[in-house]
Amino acid sequence: MCCNGQGMREALGWISSLVLLVTIVVQIRKQWTERSGRGVSTFLFIGQTAASLGFTVYSALVRNWVFTVTNGLMLLSAITGWYITARFKRSLSQPRDPTPNAPSGEVCLSGTASRLPAELG
């Protein structure tokens, strides 16, 4: 029955889980589309990963499937966010290649490629 106490508790749990997961997915999507990890601490993802792993195991042990699924998905979101943040922070710290399409050792000049000695390139 959908309106008994147990059904209402389960519905509340799943709805809350959905709200939490949508919130996290929106943040990860924002980081991805902005190609930025600025303002996001790596420690956030380390802590979230550790906590989500612990809560997932605990939830499975007590057989609470709402929290097992939620925390398992939060663990995946933590790992995804950690990867995205690290990727974009790393790309910001590396100098940009002025000739990304030129083969190694070549520099594009006026639409043509000229071979330079290795010590100059």
Q: Which two tokens stand for residue 107?
A: 């520099």
Distances from the Cα of 53 to the Cα of 15, 43, 87, angstroms: 21, 15, 22
Q: What is the pTM of this model?
A: 0.61
What pLDDT shows up at residue 111? 46
| Amino acid in position 67 | F
Q: Which two tokens stand for residue 88?
A: 């974009």
d(CA 57, CA 53): 6
Helices and strands (DSSP H and E) totals, the chain: 3, 2
- Considering Cα of 77, then 82, then 83, then 88, what sign does the dihedral take? positive
What pLDDT shows up at residue 104? 56
d(CA 71, CA 20): 10
Q: Is 94 helix (H, G, I), strand (E, B) or coil?
A: coil
Check whether 92 has a pLDDT greater than 80: no
Q: What is the pLDDT of residues 5-56, one digit of tens each?
A: 888 888 888 898 888 888 888 888 888 888 877 777 778 888 888 989 999 9
Considering the domain delimited by 5-115, tell me its CATH architecture: Up-down Bundle (1.20)
